[in-house]
Structure formats: C-alpha cells, structure tokens
Amino acid sequence: MLESLTLGEALAGIERGDFSADEVTAALDARIDSLDPHLNAYVHRAPAGAGAAAGIAPAGGPLCGLPFTLKDNMNLRGTPTGCASRILASYESPYDCTAAARLLAAGGRYLGKTNMDEFGMGSSNEYSAHGPVRNPWDLARAPGGSSGGAAAAVAADLALFALGSDTGGSIRQPAALCGVVGAKPTYGRVSRYGLVAFASSLDQIGPLAKDVADAARVLELIMGPDPRDATSLDAPVPRLLAAARKSARGLRVGLPEGLAVLGLDDAVAAAWEAAAAALAAQGAERVAVSLPRLRHATAAYYLLATAEASSNLARYDGVRYGLRAAGAADLDALYRRSRAEGFGPEVRRRIMLGTFALSRGYYEEYYLRAQKLRTLLARDFDQAWERCDCLLLPTTPGPAFRLGERLDDPLAMYLGDVFTLPVNLAGLPAVSVPTAVHAGLPLGMQVVGRPLDEVTVFRAAAALERAFPFRETRRRAVAAALDAGDAP
C-alpha cells in the first residue's frame, strides 16, 4: 500500500531500501487512474513514465524523487496553468513558480496539477471549468475550496502531499472539510512568484499533507526569501519538523470569545472545546481573548480581495494569450466578449464587485474603509498576543456541505470563510488539523500564530494531532465512501 504512506514514511522506506520513489509514484499513478474519475481532483498529470527515467527527477535531495502536486494556479514550465478557467484553457507556462522550483531542486517530482475554484475564487471547488471536485468522505459533498482538488487528492491517497494556495482559507478550509492537514504560513514566507494572483496582499502558498510533520517538511523546503517577490520576507527558515516534535507544555492558547454569534454548528463548538481541553491536558494554558473586529473581517475581506482581483485579472483580455472571442468587430467587443466567455459567474461577480469598490466616489467608502478595518483587525490580534502564544479556533463553522447547496447563495458561501479569512487579512501563520468527525464528516481546528512564529503554530498543531489521531479514521471513511460511490 505505497500510496497510503505519509511523506515521512516514504522517505524512511526509501532510506531503508524497502522501495523506491518510482514505486511510490507508480502506486499513486495507479490509484489516480482508478479513483480520480470519481473525485475529479486532477486537471493535469505528468506523462506516464516521466520521472527519474526521463531525467526530470533527481534521485537525491531531501525529497528523494518523491512526487508532489501543484494547484492549477502554479506555473511549471511546459505544463498547462489554467486556474480552472476557460480563459486560460490553452495556456502553457513558459517558466517555473519559485515554490515548485524549490520542490524540484529538493529532489521532488511533478505528479500533476489539481482542480480548484476558478482563479481561487470559491469555497467549494464547484466554480471550476473542469467541473466540481467531490469530497472523498462523501461524494455528494463539496471538498471545500479553492484548493479542493489538492485536499481531496491528499485525503484519498491520490497524492503524497500537495501545494495549495490560501487567500481567505483556500488551503485550510478544504483541508478541514477533507480531514487532512493544511498550513498557511505568514504572508511573505513563501514566494508568490509564479503563483497566478487572486488577491496579491492575501495570497500565500502552503502545503496540504497527511500529517503535521509532513506539512512541516514541505513548508521548510519552500519557505525563504525570493528576490523575484518583493513581498517575500527576508527571514531565516524556522525548523518546523523539530517544532512538531516538541510538547505543548506551557503554551498559552488563546480562545476567542464570541465566535458563536458568527455562526457555529453545535458539533463544531463541541469539537473546539474538546480540542482546547486536549491541549490543556498536555500542559497548555487556556486563555480567553477578545477579537472585537473579527465580525467585520468578512466584509473587509470581500472588498479588498475583490478589488485586487479586479486589477489582477485585467490582463486576461484576449489580446496576448488565453481565450480570444471570435468575430469581435472592434477592440471593445474583443475585451467584452473574451472576458464574458472566458470567466465563470463567480469570477465575473467578484471582478464587478472589486471594480466597484475601487471606483471614483466609492474608493474611500469601500476600499479605504476596508483597509482601515484590516489595520484594526491586525491590532486586535496584536493585543491577543500580549496574552497568549497562539490562538485556537475552528477552521470552518460547519462540516462539508452538499454540492450545489450554496451555489445560488454566494453570501452563505462567503460567510463560511469567517474563521479563516481574518488570518489572511492579518498575514498570520495558521495550520488546520482534523480533530473530529461529525455525522461521518471531518471537522478541523486551526492554530493561528504571531507573524513569523510558525514554530509555535506547528508545536500546537502537532499536540492536537497527538490528541486526535486521525489517519485510520480518514482511511476507513474514504474507503467506505469510495466503495459506496461504486469505486473498486
């Protein structure tokens, strides 16, 4: 069962000589062949037999030739980078994104690109030109988004680990809804060079993995300053794997008050309490903290993210690359029709919202006010850090929802990100860890830390993982769902 190994186990097995990286890749390839038709997690796959034999995967390096996946918004030379959008359906990358280049340099091997919400805009992976991804715990449910393909692939052992991107929760939310670990580092820790921008001031790349240690391994490989990204931080890479082995004893864990008003399932509330209790049982201290501006975060986020997106997506105009509408009579028609045909409904909605927020006469009222709220929210977090070392809060207000359930209610979809997007607004590091199962569906808790303090975040996340071993639960649930879904 090489496909079900964690990255840590695979590395150990290769070192012992039990099996090779190519055998692991072959096992994953076979499983993708048989199961991905049910999940729709992949939108591109490396050609079969590529790898060490084809000379593109160095055998050595910390990843020993083991495979990784990229989200469809990450450039890798010679692969399609479509952002799950019709407008980039024919687009092939002429260059590598820094994070992917670092994995390749570390001896990683490209396995494929995973499905997503178009340009990262969505929380269900339903807004994809490739169709929705299904949740491997229940094929009738959404995997979350926008890194839905990555989360589903890792949860169903269709990937060893995956890179995702997180603008308002796009790594952590699908990780929580699929029962895997998802990590979003401090804004600026991982270069965004080559990551197709959704909202530049919020986007971060991070890993989705089978356990906290794997996430730590991957993050260590991709973090660090990049001269090609002016927003990348010039800070030394912390030792996260070592942090994940440390005890939570003495950690002051902040529990934000008043989350119930923001909408919280009873089951999620119970899981949160259980997680807090588990950390306390390992010697952590519970501290009540207040984040009064949390309730304004959603509004601020959707103004700022859409404003930036409206500008970031202006380049898809049918002139230089990507989809160009046929038969346009003039330039204006070419723009209008290419963009109308190329973008899906959610992307169009957000471009219009963001354009509005930046327009003359509304800029102060919307964009600037949202920026002020962002500053105030960051101050709330700063005050919390005076009392605690990290925060514990649910990743999502509820478990995975049914496909189609929120498609006609964008507001409900947006409100589902209420616990993740404040973290992006403040640029903080966070890890989501699966800790509970409710009605057959996983629930995740996230640990949020001070800027650049991934070490504490991973320490607490690992403690949660020790308290709630999840691997066997996930394996059984996914196997059952895929059987029920008429899978082999």
For other proteins, the binding residues (CB under 8 A) are 73-75, 81, 83, 88, 91, 93-95, 97, 192-197, 199-201, 227-231, 307-308, 310-311, 313-317, 319-321, 331, 335, 355, 358-360, 363, 367
Q: Work out how close the CB of 228 gets to other proteins at its nearest, in angstroms, rounded to a whole number.
A: 6
Bridge-based pairing of strands 252-256 and 285-289 is parallel
**Known catalytic residue at 93:** no
Residue with tokens 């260590």: 220
Nearest to 60 by CA among 9, 107, 11, 7: 107
- Asked if residue 170 lies in contact with residue 146, where contact means CB atoms within 8 angstroms, the answer is yes
SS3 call for 375: helix
360 phi, psi to nearest 5 deg: -55, 135
How many Å apart are CA 111 and CA 150, to the nearest integer? 12
Nearer to other proteins by Cβ, of 25 and 114: the residue is: 114
Q: Work out how close the CB of 422 gets to other proteins at its nearest, in angstroms, rounded to a whole number.
A: 18
Distance, C-alpha 152 to centroid of its chain: 11
How many Å apart are CA 410 and CA 387, to the nearest integer? 36
- Asked if residue 211 lies in contact with residue 471, where contact means CB atoms within 8 angstroms, the answer is yes
Q: What is the DSSP string of 308-338?
A: HHHHHGGG-SSSSSS---TT-SSHHHHHHHH
Nearer to other proteins by Cβ, of 229 and 405: the residue is: 229
Nearer to other proteins by Cβ, of 291 and 305: the residue is: 305
How many Å apart are CA 99 and CA 218, to the nearest integer? 10
From the candidates 123, 165, 170, 338, give the one annotated as an active-site residue. 170
Q: Work out how close the CB of 341 gets to other proteins at its nearest, in angstroms, rounded to a whole number.
A: 16
**Known catalytic residue at 71:** yes
Nearer to other proteins by Cβ, of 270 and 314: the residue is: 314
Helices assigned H by DSSP within 48-114: 98-105
From the candidates 85, 123, 124, 146, give the one annotated as an active-site residue. 146
Burial of 473 (0-12, 13-18, 19+ CB in 10 A): middle
**Known catalytic residue at 4:** no
Cβ count within 10 A of residue 26: 18
Q: Work out how close the CB of 95 gets to other proteins at its nearest, in angstroms, rounded to a whole number.
A: 5
Q: Work out how close the CB of 57 gets to other proteins at its nearest, in angstroms, rounded to a whole number.
A: 23
Nearer to other proteins by Cβ, of 363 and 414: the residue is: 363
Nearer to other proteins by Cβ, of 94 and 292: the residue is: 94
Bridge-based pairing of strands 441-449 and 430-438 is antiparallel
Residues classed as catalytic: 71, 146, 170
